[in-house]
Amino acid sequence: MVAAVETSSRATEALAKARAGERLSVPEARCLYTEASLLDLGAAARARRQALVPGREVTYLVDRNINYTNVCLTDCLFCAFYRPPGHPESYTLTRDQIAGKIEELRAVGGTRILMQGGHNPALRIGWYEDLLRWLRATFPDIEVDAFSPSEIGHLADLEGMTMRDVLARLKDCGLAGLPGGGGEILHDEIRHRVSPKKQKTDGWLEAMRHAQSLGLVTSSTMVIGFSETVDHRLSHLSRLRDHQDRSLAEFGNGFGSFISWTVQLENTPLGASRHRPRYGAGGQEYLRHLAIGRLFLDNTRHHQASWPTQGLKLAQVALEFGADDFGSTMLEENVVSAAGTERCRVMVEEIHREIRDAGYEPVQRDSRYRVVRRFEPEPAGVA
């Protein structure tokens, strides 16, 4: 996608409207994709960030992503992590293994685990309920945000239940949040092409609606670079914004944040495809999309930079393009890292350094963006 070098008059009007806090139409957002300069987009997104989340603080979360199983039936073309049932490299973690990972998280002041895995046909709902009860009893200080809309859909199909009933049962056992994994592009034309066996757009949004109605923490996500068009992207953003309007009005609970990143192709079927040149997205395109997300998703307060996929330095730049959050320490991550990212282990000190080097102050938060800890500013002259 070719970005404008200079901002057109139409894009200037749309940017002024967004700066004033007015809602952008889809045609106006389309105009920004093609007719706004990257720097002008960044300035407008930065202004909206300051209007919604004022100040120089950038939040982050100390957590760990525990991939409890890599067994999956879905065969997504962009995934290098999964293994089919019976594969010699397939696994499901034991409780001892999970406990060891959580103890390591506790040692660095962590407050949350994400638990995500594949669509494993051997794991029935009783397994998940027993796991959550054990986690609640053994680690009452650690919040469990687990699974994804597609995992909930898979479990509902496996058990002949509704997704709402699955979520209600898991919540009763200790589930606190449903992360936004599996969103990719919420447009079925793209989903049919890159993940034909996976939950479609309406199912993903339905799972999130039920989670929000039950009071669970949720986030929205988006992955660009599947050779989608601007209209595909805007359809995704529009579905999220409309969904958020309804959930906030009906339940007083919606997406706490929006996170976008670029597809990682190494070691994946898409990466090995003869059509690989069609896929992927660069740093400037990521920043453009991040800024437009901040301007268009006016009902989602927090927008995250994605350092695991974009790298630490580009994540710093993202703080000038509308992001107010640096994501999490991610003491462990296997899905994205299996697809060849720079690295997926950043400790608290590094997060602090990156945020401060960008001119901001780090603040530790929890899943609901409540402050866990503020820190003394670093003395002038300290390297």
- Position 371 scores a pLDDT of 97
Higher pLDDT, 277 or 29: 29
Range of the domain at 232: 60-281+296-374
pLDDT at 3: 63
Range scoring the smallest mean pLDDT among 184-188, 320-324, 341-345: 341-345
Q: Is the pLDDT of residue 343 over 50?
A: no
pLDDT band at 266 (very low <50, low <70, confident <90, very high): confident
pLDDT value at residue 138: 98
**Per-residue pLDDT, 338:** 44
pTM of the model: 0.92
Give the range among 130-139, 217-226, 233-242, 373-382 with minimum mean pLDDT. 373-382
Q: Is residue 115 part of a domain?
A: yes
Above 70 in pLDDT, residue 131? Answer: yes
Query: 254 or 351: whose pLDDT is higher?
Result: 254
- pLDDT of 346 reads 55
The mean of the pLDDT values for the chain is 92
Q: Is 228 a domain residue?
A: yes
- Residue 275's pLDDT is what? 82
Could you tell me if 180 and 221 are in contact, meaning their C-beta atoms sit under 8 angstroms apart? yes
383 part of a folded domain: no
Which of 41-45, 73-77, 169-173 shows the lowest per-residue confidence on average (mean pLDDT)? 73-77
The answer to whether residue 242 sits within a structural domain is: yes
When divided into structural domains, the chain yields a total of 1
pLDDT at 271: 81
Q: How confident is the model at residue 345 (pLDDT cuts 50, 70, 90)?
A: very low
The pLDDT score that the predictor gives to residue 378 is 73
Mean of pLDDT values over 14-37: 97
Domain annotation covers residue 304:
yes
Does some domain include residue 38?
no
pLDDT (mean) for 157-179: 98
Per-residue pLDDT band for 1 (boundaries 50, 70, 90) equals low
Residue 127 lies in a domain: yes
Q: What is the pLDDT of residue 379?
A: 67
Residue 4 vs residue 200, higher pLDDT: 200
Contact indicator for 328, 341 with CB cutoff of 8 Å: no
Given a cut of 80, whether residue 337 has pLDDT beyond it is no
pLDDT tops 90 at residue 92: yes
Check: CB of residue 117 under 8 Å from CB of residue 335.
no
Residue 204 has pLDDT above 50, yes or no: yes
Confidence band of 270 (pLDDT split at 50, 70, 90): confident
pLDDT band of 335, cuts 50, 70, 90:
very low
Residue 302: pLDDT band (50, 70, 90) is: very high
**pLDDT of 344 higher than 50:** no
- pLDDT surpassing 70 at residue 355: yes
| Cα 359 from chain centre | 24
For residue 156, the domain's CATH number is 3.20.20.70
Q: What angle do CA 324, 330, 332 make, to 5 degrees?
A: 165
Section 316-326 average pLDDT: 98
Mean pLDDT of 341-351: 61
